[in-house]
Structure 1
Amino acid sequence: MNEKNLMELVVKAADDKRAEDIVVLDMKGISLVADYFVICHGNSEKQVQAIAKEIKDSAAENELHIKRMEGFDQARWVLLDLGNVVAHVFHREERTYYNLEKLWGDAPSVNVDTIIPTQG
């Protein structure tokens, strides 16, 4: 699976658990960490965990390995490293505080509406 398809799989998995304000940053040429950052949030710890678990389960269904998952138990900022795609699943308050979109403001964003047309 190429990195674009992997990113789309992560976006759809997050959307399936009603993740809010899904943003995808194209990190190619900007970060050596990953080609895409998928950033979203949930409104409760349970929802943050459900989103992260859905991403993990979707990866497993496609025989993809999660290299690392951090922060699941606290459910304030869960980071899932899938290699070329890193998913950041925030609790609403932490997302506002860390503001990764501003931190990586020079990264172009991907139009998520082409992946999940009903977002919003």
Structure 2
Amino acid sequence: MEKVIKKIHELLSDKKAQDIVTLSLFEVTTIADYFILATGTSSTHINALSEHIEKELAKEQIFPRHKEGKRNGEWVLMDYTDIVIHIFNRETRAYYDLERIWSDAKYIEI
């Protein structure tokens, strides 16, 4: 699992995602083991980030169970079962403030 999380961080960094954070949800919920949060600078950037992750993880036979939000360009959610990736624009990330909502989760340093 750590290898995939590190790969996702690298893919986000490759495409200049901002404010990348990983939260461990093991002790908080059963909906996922990890959330990875990142900020894109525009709808085009957000879509490019999500497409890059999906394409590169598919090369390793890792596919999302569910993906949503691409149409509006403010927030893309990619559900890889144990890892859920949220890519936001700055305003939407601040509005939903998942770091505050999941404040009981542990931050993971990558």
Q: Could you state the TM-score of these two structures normalised by the residue count of structure 2?
A: 0.95
Structure 2 gap ranges (5+): none
Structure 1 gap ranges (5+): 113-120
Q: What residue number does 1:45 align with?
A: 43
Partner amino acid for 2:107? S
Q: Could you state the TM-score of these two structures normalised by the residue count of structure 1?
A: 0.87
1:54-93: CA deviations, max 9, x gaps?
1111210111111011001211110000111000000111
Q: What residue number does 2:86 align with?
A: 88
What's the RMSD between the two structures over aligned residues?
A: 0.9
Alignment of 1:31 with 2:14, yes or no, is no
Q: What residue number does 1:71 align with?
A: 69
Give me the whole-angstrom Cα distance separating, in 2, the residues matched to 1:39 and 1:16. Answer: 15
Q: CA deviation at 1:7?
A: 1.4
Aligned pair count reads 110
Q: What residue number does 1:61 align with?
A: 59
The SS at the match of 2:64 is coil
Give me the whole-angstrom Cα distance separating, in 2, the residues matched to 1:44 and 1:99. Answer: 18
Give me the whole-angstrom Cα distance separating, in 1, the residues matched to 2:52 and 2:59. Answer: 10
Q: CA deviation at 1:98?
A: 0.5
Partner amino acid for 1:71? G
Partner amino acid for 1:27? L
Q: What residue number does 1:102 align with?
A: 100
Give me the whole-angstrom Cα distance separating, in 2, the residues matched to 1:109 and 1:20. Answer: 16
Q: CA deviation at 1:103?
A: 0.5
Q: CA deviation at 1:109?
A: 0.3
